[in-house]
């Protein structure tokens, strides 16, 4: 058990739930967060949900002097601070890379050159670094690693992933950590860099480091006014404002949705497990759900079953078709997700009833269209 933990990005959706669990375990928690306006608005104050028991420092993880102050007396770090948004990263390349990659490099430089006393580092990675998930050919059972889909197929409404040799549509299966990585967005490349920098620096300098590959996280405290956050929050915001959820392709693309309290529990489990160091872990459920089903179910829970999703048939540059996590590596250490999708979405809806939600999806969609990042 660690005594004092720094959580970068700890005022955010995922970070704050992690902070709560650490406090419950008796840790002294320091939160370093820049309070990004796209997520937190312009008040400059930490969100009301952030526990006052945590020591809060506002600032940028690239500020070396501030980092040294925040790290004083800490024996562990959970690094969640990052700009998040696959689509937005495609046209804000400098901003994302500067804050994500340079921010992580600054933290690692401090941890490896200063006498901080930190013994364990957890870095937030992402399922996006896989690109397409793992696939299997139905004809002979062979594993196939798929890259980007053919735009001409998608323009014709063929959104599946097809085998380059046989032409058959491939079957998605759970994706293990060993799958070759194939980034399809700037955000994914940022997360891959963050993960690899951290694991390499940890190995070279004897710092026990764990990379946590988050799958699709949802739940209370996720911004309902940020059009680049997770689909569950985006759909909730659309429905609360009387608008139909906007879905690209045909809605049958599938993801692995993990509730934020499960994800936070997995992180704290890995933090405290001495056997976890030096590896990457999928933080997932292993259960696939289509994007269309998420939209339909949220409309039911929010009492607006009439607001059925608007299936655009268009597609975004860099989007993948399927990615479901294989939870076996983490399960072998003794942890499994326990919150069902039904219970998790019900909790999200209950929390959202008391929240303001600004629907900025149409504006974000138009920005992607104007930049040529949405095709039809």
- Phi-psi label, residue 41: left if phi above 0, alpha if psi -120 to 50, beta otherwise: left
pLDDT at 326 over 90: yes
Q: 341-352 and 231-240 are packed helices; what angle lies between their axes, rounded to 10 degrees? A: 50
Task: Please tell me the predicted confidence (pLDDT) of residue 108.
Answer: 98
- Residue in 130, 187, 228, 297 annotated catalytic: 187
pLDDT at 192 over 80: yes
Residues 297-314 have pLDDT tens digits of: 999 999 999 999 999 999
Residues 100-115 have pLDDT tens digits of: 999 999 999 999 999 8
CATH class of the domain at 4-375: alpha beta
Q: What is the mean pLDDT of residues 129-138?
A: 96
Q: How far apart are CA 357 and CA 107, in angstroms?
A: 34
Task: Please tell me the predicted confidence (pLDDT) of residue 1.
Answer: 80
pLDDT at 376 over 80: no
> 197 catalytic, yes or no?
no
Task: Please tell me the predicted confidence (pLDDT) of residue 164.
Answer: 87
Q: How far apart are CA 169 and CA 227, in angstroms?
A: 32
Q: What is the mean pLDDT of residues 123-130?
A: 98
The pLDDT-based confidence of 67 (bands split at 50, 70, 90) is very high
Q: How far is CA 104 from CA 32, 124, 195, in A?
A: 13, 10, 9
pTM, two decimals, is 0.96
Where is average pLDDT lowest: 35-44, 112-121, 281-290?
A: 35-44
Domain boundaries, the chain: 4-375
Task: Please tell me the predicted confidence (pLDDT) of residue 229.
Answer: 84
pLDDT at 42 over 90: no
Q: How far apart are CA 44 and CA 46, in angstroms?
A: 7
Residues 24-33 have pLDDT tens digits of: 999 999 999 9
Residues 212-259 have pLDDT tens digits of: 999 999 999 999 988 888 899 999 999 999 999 999 999 999 999 999
Tabulate helix, strand, coil % of the chain (nearest 5): 35, 20, 45
Task: Please tell me the predicted confidence (pLDDT) of residue 140.
Answer: 94
Q: What is the mean pLDDT of residues 272-278?
A: 96
The pLDDT-based confidence of 270 (bands split at 50, 70, 90) is very high
CA proximity to 82, closest of 184, 12, 143, 144? 12
Task: Please tell me the predicted confidence (pLDDT) of residue 250.
Answer: 96
Q: What is the mean pLDDT of residues 159-165?
A: 93
Q: Which two tokens stand for residue 316?
A: 């975004």
The pLDDT-based confidence of 19 (bands split at 50, 70, 90) is very high
């Amino acid at each position: 058990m660690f005594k004092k933990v720094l959580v970068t990005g700890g005022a955010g959706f995922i970070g704050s739930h992690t902070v709560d669990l650490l406090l419950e375990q008796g840790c002294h928690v320091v939160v370093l967060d820049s309070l990004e306006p796209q997520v937190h608005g312009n008040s400059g104050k930490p969100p009301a949900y952030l526990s006052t028991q945590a020591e809060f420092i506002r600032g940028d993880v690239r500020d070396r002097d501030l980092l040294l102050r925040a790290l004083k007396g800490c024996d562990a770090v959970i690094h969640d601070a990052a700009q998040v948004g696959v689509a937005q990263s495609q046209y804000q390349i400098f901003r994302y890379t500067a804050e994500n990659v340079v921010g992580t490099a600054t933290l690692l430089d401090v941890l490896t050159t200063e006498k901080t006393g930190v013994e364990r580092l957890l870095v937030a990675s992402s399922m996006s670094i896989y690109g397409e998930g793992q696939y299997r050919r139905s004809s002979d059972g062979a594993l196939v690693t798929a890259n980007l889909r053919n735009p001409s197929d998608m323009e014709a409404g063929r959104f599946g992933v097809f085998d380059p040799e046989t032409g058959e549509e491939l079957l998605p299966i759970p994706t293990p950590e060993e799958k070759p990585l194939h980034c399809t967005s700037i955000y994914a490349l940022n997360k891959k860099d963050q993960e690899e920098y951290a694991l390499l620096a940890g190995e070279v300098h004897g710092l026990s480091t764990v990379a946590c590959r988050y799958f699709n996280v949802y739940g209370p405290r996720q911004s309902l006014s940020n059009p680049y956050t997770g689909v569950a929050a985006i759909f909730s915001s659309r429905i609360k404002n009387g608008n139909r959820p906007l879905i690209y392709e045909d809605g049958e693309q599938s993801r692995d949705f993990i509730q934020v309290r499960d994800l936070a529990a997995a992180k704290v489990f890995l933090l405290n497990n001495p056997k976890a160091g030096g590896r990457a872990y999928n933080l997932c459920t292993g259960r696939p759900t289509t994007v269309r089903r998420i939209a339909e179910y949220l409309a039911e829970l929010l009492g607006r079953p009439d607001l059925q999703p608007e299936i655009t048939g268009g597609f975004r540059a860099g989007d993948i078709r399927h990615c479901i996590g294989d939870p076996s590596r983490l399960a072998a250490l003794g942890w499994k997700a326990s919150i069902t999708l039904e219970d998790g979405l019900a909790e999200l809806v209950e929390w959202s009833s008391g929240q303001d939600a600004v629907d900025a999806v149409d504006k974000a969609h138009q920005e992607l269209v104007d930049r040529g990042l949405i095709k039809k």
